[in-house]
Amino acid sequence: MQPAPQSAAAPPSPAHVAVIMDGNGRWAKARGLPRVAGHKRGADAVRTIVESCAEMGIRYLTLYAFSSENWKRPAEEVDDLMGLLRIHLTTEIDRMSRNGVRLRFIGDRKRLAPDIVRLIGEAEARTRDNRRLDLVLAINYGGHDEILRAARRLAGEAAAGRLEPDEIDEARFAAALDTAEIPPPDLIIRTSGEQRLSNFLLWQAAYAELIFTSVLWPDFNRQCLADAVAEYHRRERRYGGS
Ligand code: IPE
Ligand code: IPE
Ligand code: MG
């Protein structure tokens, strides 16, 4: 990819970057290692990218960490992923707090273990006033599930007589999603060469720029992010206009 044009007219950094962090298993397989080794290196890559985004002035970073479909994986792998989440929620929180990172979570918490739900709540409360970067972790997240939960909530309000069905417009619907108060992503990056959304931010992705890279997530570094942002700068966003 070409470097970003360094002119005064260069568009601003994307405000919101979202990443489908894929390829941990293939990274491990290529080295003859168990899949969990790829997930561990993937967690290390998260730290680098969070710091890089903060330095680049990106205001929101959403990371797809565990989908509502990832429960289909073998129990041992799910346990490994939840274990890594526990460790990182415990050990990284101080560093995040110090670096001005606000942690937020999207996805359905109901299926998560109670101690993870507690760690998530604590992380959100502790970092609530941080303003440098909002790090949004998608855990047990699926776009269909999120839209269904929002629809159910709005239907409940309508049935209770608190909301007229005609009042449900885009703003009202967006406010019922897990991402209420978070702007839609400007750029969605997927690593590992797959070219699909896999149920990620389906409503919010309406006008996102999509970038697919063959780099496996554990190898995704600051330069890869800079390359993706440079590619984003070369795109022309039209939103249906001429
Ligand atoms: C992404 O890597 C991590 C999660 C989905 C949790 P994968 O585990 O999907 O890795 P591949 O796609 O098998 O290489
Ligand atoms: C998407 O990756 C989910 C996350 C990165 C958390 P998957 O590896 O689960 O997606 P598919 O199965 O290849 O579509
Ligand atoms: Mg995968």
Domains in the chain: boundaries:
16-142+181-233
Q: Whose CA is nearest to atom 10 of ligand 2?
A: 198
Q: Would the CB of 70 count as within 6 Å of ligand 1?
A: yes
Q: What pLDDT score was predicted for residue 11?
A: 62
Beta-strand pair 133-141/16-20: unpaired
Task: Quick: pLDDT tens for 141-169.
Answer: 999 999 999 999 999 999 999 999 999 99
User: H or E segment at 135?
Assistant: strand 133-141
Q: What is the pLDDT of residue 68?
A: 98
Tell me, what's the pLDDT at 52?
Answer: 97
**Known active-site residue 22:** yes
Q: What pLDDT is attached to residue 13? A: 87
Ligand closest to CA 24: 1
> What are the pLDDT digits (tens) for 4-14?
444 455 667 89
Which mutation among 194, 197, 220 tests ligand 2's pocket best, with the greatest number of atoms within 8 A of CB?
194
Identify the pLDDT of residue 12. Answer: 77
Residues with CB under 6 A from ligand 2: 20-22, 64-67, 70, 194, 196, 198
Mean pLDDT, the chain, integer: 95
CATH topology of domain 16-142+181-233: Undecaprenyl pyrophosphate synthetase (3.40.1180)
In terms of Cα–Cα distance, which of 50, 31, 28 is closest to 98?
Answer: 50
Return the pLDDT at 1: 45
In this prediction, the residues of the chain whose per-residue pLDDT falls under 70 are 1-11
What residues are neighbours of ligand 3 (ion), with CB under 5 Å? Answer: 22
Q: Can you tell me the distance from the alpha carbon of 208 to that of 188, in angstroms, rounded to the nearest whole number?
A: 6
What's the pLDDT score for residue 4?
A: 47
Position 131 scores a pLDDT of 97
